[in-house]
Amino acid sequence: MSWLVFIIVGMLAGAIASRLVAGKGYGILFSLVIGVVGALVGKVIFDLAGLTASGLVGQLIVATVGAVAVLLIANFVKGK
């Protein structure tokens, strides 16, 4: 996956996750960071579960699952 596609998928995943978890968006930069970190976390989660994802939609799903996990952990640590 090219870097541009990785960044776009990260932004989309971060935006989707922030809306799912918090009900609102946090902005482009935060969505990008959460999406990229989420993509890495999602890859680990899917590897541990023995699941694979292929294609752009699959990568978006993996990144979104990971971003949701990151936001839930952040909210737990923050005490929300």
pLDDT tens for residues 53-72? 889 999 999 999 999 999 89
**pLDDT at position 74, please?**
85
CA pair distance 38, 33, nearest whole angstrom: 8
**pLDDT at position 76, please?**
86
Question: On the CB side of 41, how many CA atoms lie within 13 Å of its CA?
Answer: 19
**pLDDT at position 7, please?**
83
Provide the residue range defining the domain that includes 62.
3-78
Question: What's the domain count of the chain?
Answer: 1
**pLDDT at position 1, please?**
60
CA pair distance 46, 33, nearest whole angstrom: 20
**pLDDT at position 44, please?**
93
Task: Please state, in angstroms and as integers, the Cα–Cα distance from residue 14 to each residue in 50, 77, following that order.
Answer: 23, 19
Mean pLDDT by runs of 10 across the 80 residues of the chain is 82 90 76 88 93 91 94 83
